[in-house]
Amino acid sequence: MSEIRNIKEQKLLYHLTSVENLDGIFKEGLKPRASLSGFNDVADPDILKKRQALQLEHYVPFHWFAGNPFDGSVQRNRPFTQFVLITVYRSTAKKNGWKVIPRHPLAGDSIDLLDYDQGFESIDWDIMNSREYHDSHCKSICMAECLAPGVVKPADFFKIFTPNDEVDALCAAKMRAAGVNVLTGVNQRMFYQ
């Protein structure tokens, strides 16, 4: 297995979605849940109700690394769904005033919705780097979020990671049909096996 890099020093943010959602994403961008209709929702309905109560449905959530507990849970619960990881540079998030929640937003009675710099510094990176998902505190830190306050356009995507050549080709075909050009790349290790 390859060496795990320090998450704090990485450059990207990650958003897991079903391949079925790519047509709409390439046409209109990655939208907050409150602006969506007719898409393949991969999130847990009970969690969505709690997120709505916290008014988080007006943001597009990204995670700080691939293979986080959310990604694994969604993929395990939907074994026949093909997924991709849409990435953006953290510098894009910082420049565009994205918000940060330094732990899972449902890990307590309230959330800390912070400006990017303050939120980034509030994350317990040492705990996150340990990736001890059997420890509830660590698991919560590993699901810290960076939230885009509106539509994230394909022009802001860095790269779309795919689990295999078949999904990569499908992703490329959907981009051609939409007139979009985003880098893609197969990286099977980023997906639940």
Provide the annotated binding site for NAD(+).
15-17, 24, 51
Binding residues: 15-17, 24, 51
Say which of 9, 51, 90, 189 is annotated catalytic.
51
Q: Is the dihedral of CA 29, 38, 86, 32 positive or negative?
A: positive
Catalytic residue, from 28, 103, 131, 145: name it: 145
Q: Is 145 noted as a catalytic residue in this protein? A: yes
**Residues annotated as catalytic (active site), given as ranges:** 51, 145
